[in-house]
Structure 1
């Protein structure tokens, strides 16, 4: 019985140590990355096709970014941070890239194709924020 308890404690210690190191490594990897947030504000009468965005639009743009792209995320707005207030954004797409200049070089020649695809999933003009991950 004591042997099982000791083995269990060792396994838990190993798991938490590995998890903690992985979490620290993830923070180091993300610091300094460029984050491009494409935010779609909520407004009455506006529409957003999440399925199309997830399966067609974002993969298309990700393909343009090539090896500069670290990852991308898609978020679906569900509520405001303040009860009984309108939803601020219907959706947010985010790209994490290594280099802003490489991002701009990839997007520039494909800008018209990206914008033309908006009509396939939304009637919202997005707000875009480019930032640097600091932590």
Structure 2
């Protein structure tokens, strides 16, 4: 199982609208990418660092796909719409990572 992780750094002057992300962007991504092999989206929203200071990351979101080919097809078909929506919830560029889900 393929995991695409998007990490949103909490940089000085940055913003992240978690409400919009969860209620609009993630739902849109689910609707657009499910036909292309997306099986799940899991998002954590940062609230604080361990010492109570602001979180180092606004959010970390994982998208699980059946395969790399499925992800590539989904992004080819729907990526432009999803990337165009980013300014609606943040002004930071997410860091993207491709991973394989490890067996528990």
- TM-score, normalised relative to structure 2: 0.87
Q: Distance in 1 between matches of 2:54 and 2:25?
A: 26
Summarize the Cα distance change of 1:58–1:120 in structure 2 as closer, same or farther, 3 Å threshold. Answer: same
- Structure 2: give runs of 5+ residues left out of the alignment: none
Q: Whose strand proportion is higher, 1 or 2?
A: 2
Q: Mapping of 1:123-134 within 5 angstroms?
A: 123-134=91-102
State how many pairs are aligned.
Answer: 102
- Structure 1: give runs of 5+ residues left out of the alignment: 1-32
Would the aligned equivalents of 1:64 and 1:107 in 2 still touch at CA under 8 Å? no
Larger RCO, structures 1/2 (Cα 8 Å, 6+ apart): 2
- TM-score, normalised relative to structure 1: 0.69
Alpha-carbon offset, residue 85 of structure 1: 5.9
Alpha-carbon offset, residue 86 of structure 1: 5.2
RMSD after superposition: 1.6
- The residue aligned with 2:47 is 78
Q: Whose helix proportion is higher, 1 or 2?
A: 1
Segments ≥4 residues shifted beyond 4 Å: none
